[in-house]
Amino acid sequence: MKRFTPLCFVLALSAPLFLSAQDEKIDLNAIQKIRQEEAQRSKVMDIAFHLTDVNGPRLTVSPGFTKAANYAIQQLKSWGLTDATLDPWGEFGKGWELQRSYVAMSAPYYKSVIALPKAWCSGTNGLQNAEVIVVSAKDSASLDVYRGKLAGKIIIMDRSEDYKQSFSADATRYDADALQKMAEAKPGRPGPPDSAAMRARREQFAQLRIQATLPNIIKTIAKAEGAVAILSTNSRSHDGTVFVQGGGGFKASDPENFLDLAMAYEDYMSMLRLAKSGTPVKMEVDVKTKFTTNDTKGYNVIAEIKGSDKNLKDEVVMLGGHLDSWHGGTGATDNASGCAIMMEAVRLIQATGVKPKRTIRIALWSGEEEGLFGSRGYVKKTFGDPATMQLLPAHTKFSSYFNVDNGTGKIRGVYLQGNENVKNIFASWLQPFKDSGASTITVNNTGGTDHLSFDAVGLPGFQFIQDPIEYNTRTHHSNMDTYDHLIENDLKNSAAIVAAFVYNAAMRDEKLPRKELPKVGGNQRGF
């Protein structure tokens, strides 16, 4: 659906058919075909359009996720993949959908505000016009003064003013210096300074820990007393971009969560200042949410391109990304982009007619946002249990797993995930893509996503280095994680690189070398 811009990275036809770099043989002819197919007949934006605009948000177990998963299965089948299926990985919990969300300030004057209910929250039981009450507390004891005062109220927690204008760009690409620093990183050193997913996940976990304290106590009191809602914000949620995740438990046995509205910083602070100055502030809120409990199991999408070599077809190369998303936007950069890249990569392999020797298996995970549940469940039932390190037969037949989950930014290289044995292999695999800016190899780990589930049982799992673009500033878990924030050429580039990596792994004489097996009890690294 985006304007077509010809890719300028198609190899000249005079390129040698085989390149031997650092003892790695590469089928340059196949890679050339892959790049040509991507440049001339890309479907990556069409896939992204279906996963985002057409489908809507894809919260795990919710109708949006199921719709997207079924679309993916139908597409993968249409490209000739086999055994395309919704593969259950275990118990997840309730589905949840937003059916109405109207939030406005109604006094001291009418003002449209930007706010979204957090996932798995209950609604308001119709339109409410409620007074805003400021709750100011440093510890749980000081919350006592609010007991008995919250019925029919909307709670705004007092907070300090911490917004600063953005004097740096929202969208960035790695410059030569940043890539050089990654390349020079030593094993065991901390991750790269701006590993997007890792930082975001740490923030998320830190936030969850805080949520376990004051706001959760007040929410419990508020729910018991019949308050209407609580308002939340943070200084990242500025300019209309609102970051919004889950509002509490989602297990089948969990009660519905008290309505927690993630709100634009400007709207929140304006109401807070007014209320603190003694001006009565009222809000109109009409939120309707729907919980679905018809099937509380989690499913991944799995499909295969069967290997062509009789000796190697039982060995598996995997590629994947999580299909589930948060609900503020349509999960375009987190992670329709990764799924579109992976789906396009297998399409490229099929469309070019190359015949990979090993079996290539694509996985689109669910439950990633809540804790990598889909990939962990799949790895546990397929390859082994990271808790006991009891391994299954498929563990020995596994080559490698490649993951994309850092937004729309084009691939600039790959994280070795501490596995220096693959450094020279990846260096030679990246060589044909040097012209597209993908040449950096770092021994660093990167965390926060599904390759960790493989790493946890000692299987080679890798994530690519991607340009950050707006991942940390605008799109990651926000209402702006939408199709228009995707960059077509970056996705095309990435699809060709992933297809080449997967194909190379499927054609290589040996499976990819591994790190030492993790010790029992020591394999939760990076989670």
Among 29, 88, 90, 100, binds its own copies (CB under 8 A): 100
CA distance 35 to 82: 24
Among 470, 489, 495, 526, binds its own copies (CB under 8 A): 470
State which residue, 125 or 279, has the beta carbon closest to its own copies.
279
**Dihedral Cα 191, 197, 201, 203, nearest 10 deg:** 80
- 110 lies in the site for its own copies, by CB under 8 A: yes
State which residue, 55 or 366, has the beta carbon closest to its own copies.
55
CA distance 168 to 179: 19
- 48 lies in the site for its own copies, by CB under 8 A: no
State which residue, 406 or 523, has the beta carbon closest to its own copies.
406
107: Cα within 13 Å, side-chain hemisphere: 11
Among 167, 177, 188, 193, binds its own copies (CB under 8 A): 167
Residue 478: name the closest of 292, 316, 133, 240 by CA.
240
Provide the minimum distance between the beta carbon of 53 and its own copies in the complex, in angstroms, as a whole number: 5
Q: Please name the residue that has the structure tokens 């509205």.
A: 261
- 273 lies in the site for its own copies, by CB under 8 A: yes
Tokens of 190: 């901390």
The CA radius of gyration of the chain, in Å to the nearest whole number, is 24
**Cβ–Cβ under 8 Å, residues 114 and 231:** no
Residue 445 Rama label (left phi>0; alpha psi -120 to 50; beta): beta
**Cβ–Cβ under 8 Å, residues 369 and 324:** yes
Provide the minimum distance between the beta carbon of 276 and its own copies in the complex, in angstroms, as a whole number: 9
- 37 lies in the site for its own copies, by CB under 8 A: no
- 27 lies in the site for its own copies, by CB under 8 A: no
Stretch of residues binding its own copies (CB under 8 A), selected from 274-282, 353-361, 416-424, 458-466:
274-282
- 175 lies in the site for its own copies, by CB under 8 A: no
Stretch of residues binding its own copies (CB under 8 A), selected from 27-35, 413-421, 475-483, 505-513:
475-483
- 102 lies in the site for its own copies, by CB under 8 A: yes
State which residue, 251 or 276, has the beta carbon closest to its own copies.
276
Helix 28-41 vs helix 488-507: crossing angle, to nearest 10: 150
Among 51, 56, 366, 450, binds its own copies (CB under 8 A): 56
Beta strands in 251-387 (DSSP E): 260-263, 282-292, 297-305, 316-322, 359-365, 384-385
Provide the minimum distance between the beta carbon of 254 and its own copies in the complex, in angstroms, as a whole number: 23
Cα angle 494, 499, 501 (rounded to 5 degrees) comes to: 95
Among 12, 18, 99, 177, binds its own copies (CB under 8 A): 99
CA distance 479 to 434: 35
Helix 488-507 vs helix 423-430: crossing angle, to nearest 10: 130
Provide the minimum distance between the beta carbon of 420 and its own copies in the complex, in angstroms, as a whole number: 34
Among 29, 129, 270, 439, binds its own copies (CB under 8 A): 270
Q: Which residues bind its own copies (CB under 8 A)?
A: 1-3, 49, 52-57, 64, 97-102, 104, 108-112, 114, 116, 160-161, 163, 165-173, 238-242, 264-266, 269-270, 273-274, 277, 279, 284, 286, 329-330, 469-470, 474, 479-480, 482-485, 487
